[in-house]
Copies of this chain bind each other. A is one copy, B any other.
Amino acid sequence: MDNLDELEPLFYPRSLAVVGASTSETKFGGRFLQALINFGYRGPIYPVNPKGSEILGLKMYPGVREIPEPVELADIMVPAHLVPQVLEECLAKGIRAAQIFTSGFAETGEEQGRRLEEELRALAKRGIRIVGPNCFGVYCPEGGHTLLPGGDFPQESGPVAFITQSGGHAVEFARLARGMGIRFSKVVSYGNACDVNESDLLEYLARDSKTRIIAVYLEGPRQGRRFLRLVGEVAREKPVLIWKAGLTSTGARAVYSHTASLAGEEAVWEALFRQTAALRVKNLEELADATVALLRLPPNTGRRVGVVGGGGGISVAVADACDRAGLEVPPLSHDVQERLRGILPPAGTAVRNPVDIGAPIVFPTVFEGVMEAVACADGIDTIIATQAMYHVLAGVLGPPPEQMPALIRALVEVAPKVRDRSGKPVVIVLPVGGDELDKLEAEKGRREIRDSYLEMGVPCFPTLERAVRAVAHVARYYEKVAELS
């Protein structure tokens, strides 16, 4: 793209017009204005609607041209057939950027919608950059702008960007990400991409110093070749995670109904993921898990894992899951096994790798000794620990309640201590404590422990499959970057 600066007002608008602002709370126009105010946008907001004189304490304007001050961004949510006229007025007013939330364009599959979208495209070429239509727009906490239903999104920024053809996924990803400690530089729901498309956004984010990881949900790129070329380049510098939807035949049909996209050939995408460092994920959960892992694990996160678990069945499950995800669980050396035998009781345990620490009750000194021994072993890159908190979360077989907080603290501190001493990454599996209505206390306990881990930079997942899959993504990323450099 010639001039990436053109996209700046979409992320950092110094003033904005809400065209189609409504006093009705059930309409998007009312909700979005409320969301912007709740989110705390700091520049002037100019609501535009021919009906009414004031809304939520703000003066209402009949049209954008009637706004007396300069406007950098127009957030547009009038009915589809009125959008071209609004854009004409924006051009006349000198507005250089717009987001169109309205649906009813090419995605309807009907002639009228397609024609309307062509009009938007032509208007964009006359000097206004457009995100949308049929989208939820931009969330950029640093710029104070939130997307359509994003009034309660976090106001802190972070290093993750997400570009998505689905507004629903933008909201869902942000929701999932919050509890996992992911914060965003930019989230863009860009819908039908009549002007600003996936390739423009990828190029922008590649150069954006605020963005360290780029997550993408894609139905069909508007500039396929440019996108594939860009992915290859960008992924060497920053992790690029792509959820490519619609590669099944049923999915391809749904993709067309949604954003009028052509899903493309599986083979093209497979080649991309084979040849570049881009990572392929298959759903939102995997996208969030891989993002957490990339945020918190170092480049020396390798495939050879040492697994510390409680219970033989769980060790078997970890071993199978690692094997399926392409991780190795190499047997520990004789010396390390001897060292472990010195720490663990002889019966109900195992020391080869996975290491089974036996009883569900784990004492911090035992846990630390075992973790330390595994982390020091040659030929082990990454340590995955599971079930050490079992008795804490299940609330059975534990110590008296008054001793619990100290025990939890001591157990939680093992992982960062061992990581820092050994220089090897540690990943924790921390299952949901109980899914019943009357077990919310256990769930509260889990979330507290998880937050402690995340604060100390230790990634933490609720199931071992998710942990193992996330580690495999990180290992794959740095291997591929090394191979391509």
A211 contacts which chain B residues (CB < 8 A)? none
On whether the beta carbons of B437 and A316 are closer than 8 Å, the reply is no
A175 contacts which chain B residues (CB < 8 A)? 394, 434-435
A397 in contact with B31 given A134-B348, A347-B108 (CB within 8 Å)? yes
On whether the beta carbons of B257 and A315 are closer than 8 Å, the reply is yes
In the assembled complex, the Cα of A134 lies from the Cα of B312 at a distance in Å of 10
CB 8 Å contact bits of A454-465 with B (1 = contact, 0 = none): 000000000101
A317 in contact with B283 given A151-B396, A347-B103, A440-B443 (CB within 8 Å)? yes
> Smallest distance from the beta carbon of A306 to chain B beta carbons, Å?
12
Residues 279 to 324 of chain A near chain B (Cβ within 8 Å): 282-285, 310-324
Is A102 part of the contact surface with B, judged by Cβ < 8 Å? yes
In the assembled complex, the Cα of A293 lies from the Cα of B348 at a distance in Å of 35
On whether the beta carbons of B312 and A168 are closer than 8 Å, the reply is yes
On whether the beta carbons of A323 and B250 are closer than 8 Å, the reply is yes
On whether the beta carbons of A314 and B168 are closer than 8 Å, the reply is yes
Of B251, B254, B329, B448, which one neighbours A250 at CB under 8 angstroms?
B329
> Smallest distance from the beta carbon of A188 to chain B beta carbons, Å?
14
Interface pick from A122-130, A176-184, A201-209: A176-184
Is A382 part of the contact surface with B, judged by Cβ < 8 Å? no
Is A65 part of the contact surface with B, judged by Cβ < 8 Å? no
Which of A's residues lie within 8 Å of B, judged by CB?
26, 28, 31, 80, 102-104, 107-108, 134, 149, 151-152, 164-169, 171-172, 175-176, 178-180, 217, 219, 245-251, 253-255, 257-259, 282-285, 310-324, 328-329, 331, 346-348, 350, 352, 354, 356, 358-361, 387, 394-397, 431, 434-437, 439-440, 443-444, 447-448, 451, 463, 465
Give 24 CB contacts A-B under 8 Å.
A31-B397, A103-B358, A164-B313, A166-B311, A167-B311, A169-B317, A175-B434, A178-B436, A217-B313, A246-B316, A246-B319, A250-B328, A251-B320, A253-B331, A254-B315, A254-B320, A254-B329, A254-B350, A255-B316, A257-B315, A258-B313, A437-B444, A440-B440, A440-B444
